[in-house]
Amino acid sequence: MSDLFTWQLAPLPTLLSLAFGYLLGSIPFGLILTRMAGLGDVRKIGSGNIGATNVLRTGNKKLAAATLLLDALKGTAATAIASRFGLEAGLAAGFAAFIGHLFPVWLGFRGGKGVATYLGVLLGLAPIVLAVFAAIWLIVAYFSRYSSLSALVATAATPVVLWFSGNEKVAALFAVLTAITWWKHRANIGRLMSGTESKIGDKG
């Protein structure tokens, strides 16, 4: 009976981590910061999302950097705090933070594309692999000047690197996050193929 009772309680940290991660991830820092700076609603320019790349289209690089940092840190905080209850709880919180950023309840479930939060979750679960992601992103961005292409290539490589480094469970999570990231970037993929995608530094 005691074993059964323990089994029934086991999912509780994971369920709490999912709720905590989602609420933390759903904080729309891009929208909050641009409104505080008097730049209006960031959803009305560029791609219409609340992420750092679109904030950059306001012309305020410092604000875009702050958005990138805060969107990443909410993923890191979610995984770091929840991981105290075990790896599964950390994985659940990281996944939920990512989903929260993409589909925030406060904005009618219309958020960003998740790359910064993806990075934050990666920092919380496998910081060494984050360096690999950053290197790939920077190389692709330098030669192409496409933020979206850089993100697509780097996210595609991340689960593979995690798998070969022995982090199978984390690799499985990031395989899911990568698939969702690519789905969220489907319009970008279409524009990349047609040559109409905006490049880094473009406004509007």
Q: 175: alpha, beta or left, given left = phi > 0 and alpha = psi -120 to 50?
A: alpha
Contact 178, 158 (CB under 8 A): yes
Q: What is the pLDDT of residue 9?
A: 42
Tell me if 203 is assigned to some domain: no
pLDDT band at 202 (very low <50, low <70, confident <90, very high): low
Tell me if 35 is assigned to some domain: yes
Buried b (16+ CB within 10 A) or exposed e, 90-108: bbbbbbbbbbbbbbbeeee
Tell me if 204 is assigned to some domain: no
CA end-to-end distance (rounded Å), the chain = 63
pLDDT of 89 over the 60 cut: yes
Q: How far apart are CA 79 and CA 172, in angstroms?
A: 15
Mean pLDDT score, 105-131: 93
Q: How far apart are CA 75 and CA 173, in angstroms?
A: 13
Taking the CA atoms of residue 93, residue 98, residue 103 and residue 104 in that order, the dihedral angle to the nearest 10 degrees is: 60
pLDDT band at 51 (very low <50, low <70, confident <90, very high): confident
Q: What is the pLDDT of residue 38?
A: 84
pLDDT of 3 over the 60 cut: no
Boundaries of domain holding 27: 2-194
Tell me if 200 is assigned to some domain: no
Tell me if 133 is assigned to some domain: yes
- Identify the residue with better confidence: 40 or 2: 40
Q: What is the pLDDT of residue 201?
A: 62
How many whole angstroms from its chain centre is CA 17? 17
Contact 148, 186 (CB under 8 A): no
Q: What is the pLDDT of residue 158?
A: 98
Could you give the number of structural domains in the chain?
1
3-state secondary structure of 93: helix
Tell me if 79 is assigned to some domain: yes
Cβ count within 10 A of residue 140: 18
Tell me if 38 is assigned to some domain: yes
- Percentages helix, strand, coil for the chain (3-state, rounded to 5) are 75, 0, 25
Tens of pLDDT along 124-177?
Answer: 999 999 999 999 999 999 999 998 899 999 999 999 999 999 999 999 999 999
CB-based burial of residue 84 (10 Å sphere; 0-12 exposed, 13-18 middle, 19+ buried)? exposed
Contact 121, 76 (CB under 8 A): yes
Q: pTM for this one? A: 0.87
Tell me if 96 is assigned to some domain: yes
Q: What is the pLDDT of residue 44?
A: 83
Q: What is the pLDDT of residue 5?
A: 40
Count of alpha carbons within 13 angstroms of residue 204, beta-carbon side: 0
Mean pLDDT score, 69-85: 95
